[in-house]
């Protein structure tokens, strides 16, 4: 399917989305579709649970797709049979339930609590935070952009219940904002209990360890963390980092625990996962009877107007980011850098043909070509050479009246559209005299700016390998390489492709894999600095936010992510590879400029980027609520 044009894929994606959303019930494609194009549409329909059917004889074969509403209409009733019941009773052994002896109670230093606290924050009253035990990192902290806004932030926090903090990646808001609150409370001998949420386990643990190190204390005293099935937080911790799910379960379970919290910080609100959105709903209701609660929302690329309108009174604090530059290259720029000779797009093809066209090559036409093909080849050659109106009229006549193929290609790969493009015409201008074709192209161009969602293109591992080789061979900047991939399978495939490639010397690199299902302790090794090797980090969007890998200078962005999507036809959820949003693309780009200048390689074109949705689609809008928890 690699020869399918991206514009055709985008149009098919738009049509399928309209059917899935119930805007249209069916759609019939033109008979001009080629066999590979029809196969592509059939494959997409199978993947989405839609019906597709082709009928007719070439070249008049028509493809129709429609929603598969009757896919699960068959029902089977399970009746009761006395014979089956007797057989089960005679075959199964029934054991009497016995009371197990109670285990010996262990002595604990903390208060006794008969209620088990699975998946919820540990209790505890607000306390006066301890003063920082060391100023070892003070010089580093003062160089962060967020430090300049410390007094302004504390002043806004004093007079407002809800604050939105926006800043570029690398400003230090995740580690410093909670510390500002602790230090202010410690200096004024005021009690506080701060909860800061993170979207992922890895970032939760990493940030908590960093803050504890900056305060010069062991993790678990005044700063701790709590994630699913793992806790390192004392009963009197003043600052606890946790995942969104842990805080949400606490809010749903016990109001007394929530009343002890003085500050709640929701980080990376732009991701719009289901836990974050439900958290905002619960916090808005909680503010009605707890006026003393302070809520801080933080993000680098959030829709400020959207969140500002949700709460009644919001103050926004914008912090400028670091002055590190990140050079961004799109796919066409990358291919030029790699001296790739592959034709990409009609503009590149036109340029190559214009420079290399030679009339003598087109005169050597094989004798087995029929007359129409011979006329098409000669006419396209005349259009390429002269570009006169008569030559293009002759070409249109061959296509309309003589059953010439509009996608016909000469032995050199020239098509009628390429011939028109060389002389400054696009497809819409070339078809202005043909009303039906003109209306078709005009209507398509109106929808060409629809958001790009599902992706059917595989990850280009060969291009990733060539970029890594380019970085290692030609870039004088040192630093690690961070590769964003959609899922675990792609991470493994990319790793094996790299180590098996003849361009890559395995002994010169150290590989790391970051995924939410991997062991946290193993993933922590990615933060270590390796002197004699260059790190290659293969990661999902887990590295997109919060986590700072200090020595990353290069980012390779596949532009893809795996999201859970609800299938309206089958009534089930499945992971599908989707294009990321523009906000996520900017987040990934910022990973290369956290501590120094960097370079971001995007494995998609600028046009694809412009068609991506501006922000992530909220998870509660693409998954059913009954499977959210």
Whether the pLDDT of residue 180 is over 90: the answer is yes
Domain boundary among 18, 38, 66: 66
Q: What is the pLDDT of residue 585?
A: 92
Q: What is the pLDDT of residue 427?
A: 57
Lowest-confidence pick of 100-114, 341-355, 449-463, 500-514: 341-355
Average pLDDT over residues 273-278: 87
Name the range with the highest mean pLDDT among 7-16, 88-97, 327-336, 552-561.
552-561
pLDDT: which is higher, 252 or 426:
252
**pLDDT tens, residue by residue, 148-168:** 999 999 999 999 999 999 987
pLDDT > 90 fraction of the chain, expressed in percent and rounded: 20
Whether the pLDDT of residue 433 is over 60: the answer is no
Same domain for 145 and 281? Answer: yes
Same domain for 384 and 280? Answer: no
Same domain for 169 and 318? Answer: yes
Name the range with the highest mean pLDDT among 8-17, 437-446, 474-483.
8-17
Asked if residue 407 belongs to a domain, the reply is yes
Asked if residue 220 belongs to a domain, the reply is yes
- Bridge partners (DSSP) listed for residue 164: 297, 316
**CA dihedral (384, 386, 392, 397) positive or negative:** negative
pLDDT: which is higher, 244 or 404:
244
Lowest-confidence pick of 271-285, 286-300, 347-361, 476-490: 347-361
Token pair, residue 488, equals 């675990």
Same domain for 426 and 467? Answer: no
Q: What is the pLDDT of residue 72?
A: 42
Whether the pLDDT of residue 287 is over 90: the answer is no
Same domain for 466 and 428? Answer: no
Asked if residue 328 belongs to a domain, the reply is no
Asked if residue 78 belongs to a domain, the reply is no
Domain boundary among 323, 339, 370: 323
Q: What is the pLDDT of residue 347?
A: 33
**DSSP labels, 88-155:** HHHH---PPP-PPPPPPPPP-SSPP-SS--TTS------BPPPPPS--TTHHHHHTSGGGGGHHHHHH
For the beta carbon of residue 434, count every other beta carbon within 10 angstroms: 14
Name the range with the highest mean pLDDT among 89-98, 125-134, 158-167, 528-537.
158-167
The phi and psi torsions of 283 (rounded to 5 degrees) equal -70, -35
Q: In CATH, what number is assigned to the domain containing residue 598? A: 3.40.50.300
Q: What is the pLDDT of residue 97?
A: 41
pLDDT: which is higher, 105 or 236:
236
CA nearest neighbour of 207 among 238, 184, 179, 245? 179
Domain boundary among 278, 308, 323: 323
Same domain for 177 and 282? Answer: yes
Same domain for 493 and 576? Answer: yes
* Cα–Cα dist 131/186, whole Å: 6
**pLDDT tens, residue by residue, 467-490:** 998 888 876 557 889 999 998 899
pLDDT range class, residue 44, cuts 50, 70, 90: confident
Same domain for 471 and 588? Answer: yes
pLDDT: which is higher, 303 or 200:
200
* Cα–Cα dist 377/429, whole Å: 22
Q: In CATH, what number is assigned to the domain containing residue 10? A: 3.30.1370.50
Contact 119, 629 (CB under 8 A): no
Same domain for 280 and 197? Answer: yes
**pLDDT tens, residue by residue, 535-583:** 999 998 888 876 678 788 899 999 999 888 877 666 778 888 889 999 8
pTM of the entire structure?
0.61
Asked if residue 581 belongs to a domain, the reply is yes
Asked if residue 452 belongs to a domain, the reply is no
CA nearest neighbour of 13 among 442, 453, 446, 449? 453
Contact 316, 164 (CB under 8 A): yes
* Cα–Cα dist 244/275, whole Å: 6
Determine which helix (DSSP H) or strand (DSSP E) holds 598, and give its type and residue range: strand 598-602
Average pLDDT over residues 435-463: 65
**CA dihedral (272, 278, 281, 282) positive or negative:** negative
Q: How many residues does the chain have?
A: 629
**Which residue range(s) make up the domain with 479?**
461-627
Q: What is the pLDDT of residue 381?
A: 81
pLDDT: which is higher, 394 or 493:
493
Token pair, residue 421, equals 């493009």
Task: Using the CB atoms, write b or e for 68-96: b if 16+ within 10 Å.
Answer: beeeeeeeeeeeeeeeeeeeeeeeeeeee
pLDDT range class, residue 607, cuts 50, 70, 90: confident
pLDDT: which is higher, 379 or 402:
379
Lowest-confidence pick of 131-145, 346-360, 380-394: 346-360
Same domain for 368 and 422? Answer: yes
Instruction: Give one word for 410, left, alpha or beta, with left for phi > 0 and alpha for psi -120 to 50.
Output: beta
Same domain for 412 and 470? Answer: no
Q: Are strands 560-567 and 572-579 parallel, antiparallel or unpaired?
A: antiparallel
* Cα–Cα dist 451/614, whole Å: 9
Same domain for 17 and 164? Answer: no
Average pLDDT over residues 418-423: 68
Whether the pLDDT of residue 343 is over 60: the answer is no
Asked if residue 238 belongs to a domain, the reply is yes
pLDDT range class, residue 366, cuts 50, 70, 90: very low
pLDDT range class, residue 438, cuts 50, 70, 90: low
Average pLDDT over residues 437-459: 60
- Bridge partners (DSSP) listed for residue 499: none
Q: What is the pLDDT of residue 370?
A: 60
Q: What is the pLDDT of residue 197?
A: 93
Q: What is the pLDDT of residue 374?
A: 77
Whether the pLDDT of residue 446 is over 70: the answer is no
CA nearest neighbour of 329 among 610, 604, 611, 615? 604
In the chain, the number of structural domains is 4
Q: Tokens 């199964």 correspond to what residue? A: 92
Token pair, residue 47, equals 């993947």
Q: What is the pLDDT of residue 483?
A: 95
pLDDT range class, residue 322, cuts 50, 70, 90: low
Q: What is the pLDDT of residue 82?
A: 75
Average pLDDT over residues 440-444: 61
Q: What is the pLDDT of residue 346?
A: 32
Average pLDDT over residues 35-57: 84
Asked if residue 84 belongs to a domain, the reply is no
556: three-class secondary structure by DSSP: strand
CA nearest neighbour of 423 among 341, 353, 342, 361? 353
**pLDDT tens, residue by residue, 505-534:** 888 888 998 887 776 667 777 888 787 888
Cα angle, residue 586 at apex, residues 590 and 339 outer, rounded to 5° = 85
């Amino acid at each position: 399917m690699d020869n399918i044009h991206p514009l055709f894929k985008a149009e098919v994606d738009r049509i399928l989305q309209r059917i899935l959303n119930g805007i249209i019930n069916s759609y019939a494609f033109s008979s001009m579709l080629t066999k590979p194009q029809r196969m592509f549409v059939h494959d997409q329909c199978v993947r989405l649970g839609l019906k597709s059917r082709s009928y007719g004889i070439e070249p008049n074969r028509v493809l129709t797709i429609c929603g598969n509403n009757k896919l699960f209409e068959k029902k089977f009733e399970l009746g009761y049979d006395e014979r089956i019941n007797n057989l089960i009773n005679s075959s199964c052994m029934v054991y009497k339930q016995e009371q197990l002896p109670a285990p010996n109670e262990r002595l604990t230093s903390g208060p006794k609590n008969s209620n088990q606290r699975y998946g919820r924050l540990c209790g505890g009253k607000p306390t006066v935070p301890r003063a920082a035990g060391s100023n070892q990192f003070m010089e580093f902290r003062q160089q962060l952009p967020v430090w300049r806004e410390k007094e302004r932030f504390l002043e806004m926090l004093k007079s407002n219940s809800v604050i939105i903090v926006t800043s570029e990646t690398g400003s230090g808001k995740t580690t410093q904002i909670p510390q500002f609150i602790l230090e202010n409370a410690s200096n004024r001998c005021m009690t506080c209990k701060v909860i800061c949420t993170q979207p992922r386990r890895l970032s939760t643990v990493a940030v908590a360890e960093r803050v504890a190190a900056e305060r010069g204390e062991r993790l678990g005293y005044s700063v701790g963390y709590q994630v699913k099935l793992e806790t390192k937080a004392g009963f009197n911790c003043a600052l606890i980092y946790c995942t969104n799910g842990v805080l949400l379960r606490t809010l749903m379970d016990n109001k007394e625990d929530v009343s002890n919290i003085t500050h709640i910080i929701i980080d990376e609100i732009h991701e719009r996962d289901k836990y974050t959105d439900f958290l905002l709903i619960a916090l808005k209701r909680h503010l009605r009877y707890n006026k003393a609660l302070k809520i801080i929302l933080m993000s680098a690329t959030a829709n400020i107007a959207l969140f500002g309108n949700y709460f009644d009174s919001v103050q926004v604090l914008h912090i400028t980011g670091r002055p590190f530059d990140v050079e961004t290259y799109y796919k066409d720029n990358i291919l030029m850098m790699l001296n790739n000779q592959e034709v990409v797009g009609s503009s590149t093809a036109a340029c190559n043909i214009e420079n290399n066209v030679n009339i003598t090559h087109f005169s050597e036409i094989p004798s087995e070509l029929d007359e129409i093909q011979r006329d098409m080849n000669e006419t396209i050659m005349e259009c390429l050479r002269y570009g006169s109106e008569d030559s293009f009229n002759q070409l249109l006549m061959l296509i309309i009246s003589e059953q010439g193929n509009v996608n016909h290609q000469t032995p050199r790969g020239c098509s009628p559209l390429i011939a028109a493009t060389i002389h400054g015409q696009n497809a819409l201008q070339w078809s202005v005299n043909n009303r039906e074709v003109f209306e078709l192209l005009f209507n398509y161009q109106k929808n060409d700016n629809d958001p790009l969602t599902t992706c059917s293109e595989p990850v280009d591992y060969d291009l990733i390998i060539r970029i890594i080789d380019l970085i290692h061979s030609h870039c004088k900047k040192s630093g690690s390489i961070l590769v964003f991939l959609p899922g675990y399978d792609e991470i493994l495939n990319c790793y094996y492709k790299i180590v098996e490639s003849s361009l890559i010397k395995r002994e010169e690199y150290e590989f790391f894999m970051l995924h939410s299902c991997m062991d946290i302790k193993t993933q922590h090794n990615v933060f270590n600095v390796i002197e004699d090797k260059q790190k290659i980090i293969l990661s999902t969007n887990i590295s997109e936010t919060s986590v700072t890998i200090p020595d990353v200078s290069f980012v390779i962005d596949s532009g893809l992510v795996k999201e859970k999507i609800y299938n309206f036809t089958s009534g089930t959820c499945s992971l599908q590879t989707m294009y990321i949003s523009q906000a996520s693309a900017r987040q990934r780009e910022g990973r290369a400029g956290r501590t120094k200048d960097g370079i971001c390689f995007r494995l998609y074109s600028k046009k694809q980027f412009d068609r991506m949705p501006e922000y992530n689609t909220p998870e509660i809008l693409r998954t059913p609520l009954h499977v959210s928890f």
